[in-house]
Structure 1
Amino acid sequence: MRQKVLVLYLANSALDAPTVAWAVYDGTGETRPMAGDDDQAPYRTGVEALKDGWRLFQAAQILPHTRGDEFDLAYLKYEFFFEKLVEAAA
């Protein structure tokens, strides 16, 4: 078995929020895409990824903004990690 990892950055902390950025890492070696290679996200929401068999294994900790930081665009706060185990090619 090999692991594929999908990272979705959502517009807010809800899994049904729109995807704003993404990255895919393929441990099978079948593909080598870069983060956000495609024009469209692989899934519109985290719920869509769950419905397609991806398993959620980490979500960003929700921390309150300190005064003034609510307008900081230096990072994407709502990060969700998913995995899918795939049978390795012989």
Structure 2
Amino acid sequence: MRQQVLVLYLATSALDSPVVGWSRYDGTGRTRPTTGDGDEPPYSTGLGALQDGWRLFQASQLLPAQPGHEYDVSFLKHEFFFEKVEDGLRL
């Protein structure tokens, strides 16, 4: 059994909000270790990943902005980690 990990960054903390960034890590050996190239995300929302069989195992903690910093630009804060476990031989 090998693990595949999908990291989706969403526009908001809701799983049905649009994907704004992503990374994919494939431990099965069927594809390059990381994928995510191209202009289109693998799913349009986090809910789409759930509906396709990905299991959600971590969502980022929601932290309020400190007073006076509500509009600062920083990291993508709505990060969700998904996994699939599949049979696969490492090449």
- Work out whether residues 30 and 88 of structure 2, in 8 Å CA contact, stay in contact via their aligned partners in 1: no
Q: Give unpaired runs (5+ residues) of structure 2.
A: none
Q: Using a 3 Å threshold, how does the CA distance of structure 1 residues 13 and 48 change in structure 2: closer, same or farther?
A: same
Same amino acid, percent of matched pairs: 62
Matched with 1:15 is 15
Amino acid at match of 1:20: V
Kept after mapping to 2: 8 A contact 1:22/1:35? no
Shift of 1:68: 2.9
- After the TM superposition, which segments of 4 or more aligned residues of structure 1 sit over 6 Å from their partners? none
Q: Residue 78 of structure 1: CA displacement?
A: 0.1
SS in 2 for 1:85: strand
> CA RMSD for the aligned pairs?
1.6
Q: Which residue of 1 aligns with 2:68?
A: 68
Distance 1:70 1:36, change over 3 A: farther
Paired residue for 1:36? Answer: 36
TM-score with structure 1 setting the length: 0.91
Structure 1: 5+ residue stretches without partners = none
Once residues 85 and 6 of structure 2 are traced to their aligned partners in structure 1, the CA distance between those partners, rounded to angstroms, is: 11
How many residues align? The count is 90
